[in-house]
Amino acid sequence: MKFRLFSLCLAAACAWTSAPAPAQPAAPAARPASAFSAGVANEWFSLALLLTQQTPGFSPPVASRAFAYLGLTLYESVVPGMPQHQSLAGQLNELQSLPWAQPDEVLHWPTVANASMATMTRMMFPTASAENKARIDLLERSLPLKYSQDFDPNTVTPEITNRSETFGKLMAMALMTWARTDGGHEAWGPLRRSQQNYVPPSGEGQWVATPPAFAPTLLPRWGDVRPFVLKTSSTCAAPLPPPYSESPGSAFYKEANEVYQVSNKATQEQRQVSLYWADDPLKTPTPAGHWVFIANDLLKLQKADLAQAAQTMVRLNMAMADAFIAGWKTKYTVNLLRPVTYVQLVIDSNWVPTLMHTPPFPEYPSGHSVQSSAAAGVLEQVFGANKPFTDNTHNDRGWGPRTFASFKVAADEAAISRMYAGIHFRSGIEGGKVQGRCVAQQVLALKLAR
């Protein structure tokens, strides 16, 4: 069937076929995506990091969703130029078909990627400032000049350019049509406001708003957003925490007392780790953006090609988006109180975490644990399980670089940092790691290769 996509579905645009999985036409007889640098991909994800940090409403779950659609847009735009790979249409939830290039039409994959990423970026960040919207326009115009080796005018004719731009825009619009049905559309504002009347369950051990802001819960129905890969948001379950108890001999009391003692006596290194992985919205590109930065840096360092960048970014970002969906589903199902609530009730009525405020959603599991473990699982598959790397995410804030022996070591540090901060129990940290690894395995089971 052919896609019906607004005004683009006119004239040449409607010449594109759609691609149900798994059968697709052969790629056009042109240079494959692997023949080009990852420069276009690197640049668009760098801009997405900036937009995430500077656009109000991009909380961690919302940011992860935006990164996932950008990663999928990049992949689906250039996969017709990857002869050994296939579209993910038919493998992702409720995504049955997408545009596919005509076998006899030559496309230029950097141009396709540039047009598709520009189009999707505009649609994912509709509330960006005027200055940042101008940055999107400028980047789209400047990339052919900056990466002239990939945009050779001797081989990329105006006809090929126009055809490639049309296909890229068409792909982005097809994916945005699908995105609008996932339950997370406009979560940066209208959707979030629509959930502010949520009333959490009450009772012993249940979550309540925490000091100092006593803010309402953040996106309590995010667990109902359609996952990309997981069959349902409950596919990857986290093991349950210890039963709630206020008895000093209980496992739950011991966990709470551990948070109290560790955060009160945190070393300077532990305090630095806590702040390094905080990744607060509007100050940083959020936890998902932290791992996007790491991956983008490594792709540049290894001089990856466009095809490699597309495969990396689609897996990484869908894993993190599904990790947030699964984690949020568990959070609002278990609805466990935060350490500050328990400690003030049972151990020390005057205690508050000193490094950061407790975020406004239930404790179990740790979102940092779920998302970081999912990210690490994907990056291990891409770059190697024992790949040492340097994280430069916060260099501009004077907090780096930090070097890690592996992605797992980094993910484990991100996870335990929440205890140093006084905002998570150990069971929430460890349970989140289990859930995140499960998400990574589900995403890595996708069949990208034909």
Is the pLDDT score of 4 beyond 60? no
In tens, the pLDDT along 417-447 reads 999 999 999 999 999 999 999 999 999 999 9
Of 443, 266, 423, give the one whose Cα is nearest residue 336: 423
Is the pLDDT score of 41 beyond 60? yes
Is the pLDDT score of 62 beyond 50? yes
Is the pLDDT score of 101 beyond 70? yes
Of 204, 205, 214, 200, give the one whose Cα is nearest residue 358: 214
The pLDDT score that the predictor gives to residue 194 is 74
The pLDDT score that the predictor gives to residue 383 is 98
Name the one residue in this structure whose structure tokens are 């953040």.
Answer: 218
The pLDDT score that the predictor gives to residue 189 is 80
Of 54, 76, 96, give the one whose Cα is nearest residue 283: 54
Name the one residue in this structure whose structure tokens are 């559309």.
Answer: 185
Percent above pLDDT 90 for the chain: 88
Q: By the 8 A CB rule, do 127 and 56 touch?
A: yes
Of 263, 292, 268, give the one whose Cα is nearest residue 52: 292
**Mean pLDDT for the stretch of residues 24-50:** 86
Return the CATH fold of 199-444: Vanadium-containing Chloroperoxidase; domain 2 (1.10.606)
Percent above pLDDT 70 for the chain: 94
Phi and psi at residue 192, in whole multiples of 5°? Answer: -60, -45
The pLDDT score that the predictor gives to residue 104 is 85
Is the pLDDT score of 13 beyond 70? no
- Between CA 285 and CA 50 the distance in angstroms is 7
Report CA-CA distances (Å) from 208 to 130, 200, 238, 331. Answer: 38, 8, 22, 13
The verdict on pTM exceeding 0.85 is: yes
The Cα angle at residue 129 between residues 128 and 131, in degrees rounded to 5: 125
Is the pLDDT score of 166 beyond 90? yes
The two three-digit tokens of residue 314, written as one number:
């689609």
In tens, the pLDDT along 263-307 reads 999 999 999 999 999 999 999 999 999 999 999 999 999 999 999
- Between CA 314 and CA 193 the distance in angstroms is 29
Structural domain 12-179, CATH architecture: Up-down Bundle (1.20)
The pLDDT score that the predictor gives to residue 180 is 98
Q: Which residues lie closer than 8 Å to 418 by C-beta, 6 or more apart? A: 274, 277, 366, 368, 369, 424, 428, 429
Top-confidence residue, 15 or 153: 153
Give 97's strand partners.
Answer: 20
- Between CA 177 and CA 181 the distance in angstroms is 7
Is the pLDDT score of 150 beyond 70? yes
Res. 197 pLDDT band, cuts 50 70 90: confident
219: phi > 0 → left, psi -120 to 50 → alpha, else beta; which? left
Res. 235 pLDDT band, cuts 50 70 90: very high
Res. 363 pLDDT band, cuts 50 70 90: very high
Of 410, 409, 428, give the one whose Cα is nearest residue 418: 428
Name the one residue in this structure whose structure tokens are 């991909």.
Answer: 41
**Mean pLDDT for the stretch of residues 176-193:** 90
Q: Which amino acid is at 332?
A: Y
Domain ranges across the chain: 12-179, 199-444
- Cα dihedral 439, 443, 444, 449, rounded to 10, equals 170
Is the pLDDT score of 151 beyond 80? yes
